[in-house]
Amino acid sequence: MTVQINYKNTGYKKNSNNLVLFIDEKFNITGLKKYISNTEFSYISDLLKTNDLKKNLLFFEINSKKTIFLVSIKKDLLVFEINSKKTIF
């Protein structure tokens, strides 16, 4: 199974309810500051200190209408590593 990601250079809409953000395997979120507010950034930073970082997907319910999903992407992922994983989440 192959996955293709298309990147768009369009502007970011501030009114979106759910966000899926891709980060590195060390859960470094400093690059996300331009996509989320300062309060959301500090909230996620605090929660990352207590979460299991071995998972590839984390989600944070900011409020009843907004959820932020963090997807951890390994930098040099090889094809056999993708096929060998039975469950990612």
What pLDDT digit, counting tens, does each position of 4-57 carry? 777 666 655 555 688 888 888 888 888 888 888 899 899 988 888 888 777 888
35 within a domain of the structure (yes/no):
yes
- Number of domains comprising the chain: 1
Residue partners of 63: CB distance under 8 A and separation at least 6: none
By C-alpha distance, which of 58, 57, 61, 14 is closest to 36?
A: 14
Contact call for residues 32 and 15 (beta carbons, < 8 A): no
34 within a domain of the structure (yes/no):
yes
Domain extent, residue 71, equals: 18-84
Q: Is the pLDDT of residue 89 over 80?
A: no
61 within a domain of the structure (yes/no):
yes
Residue that is written with structure tokens 């930073």 in the block: 45
Radius of gyration of the chain (CA): 14
Distance CA 72, CA 54 (A): 9
59 within a domain of the structure (yes/no):
yes
Confidence of residue 80 (pLDDT cuts 50, 70, 90): low
pTM beyond 0.75? no
Q: Is the pLDDT of residue 65 over 70?
A: yes
10 within a domain of the structure (yes/no):
no
Residue 15 one-letter amino acid: N
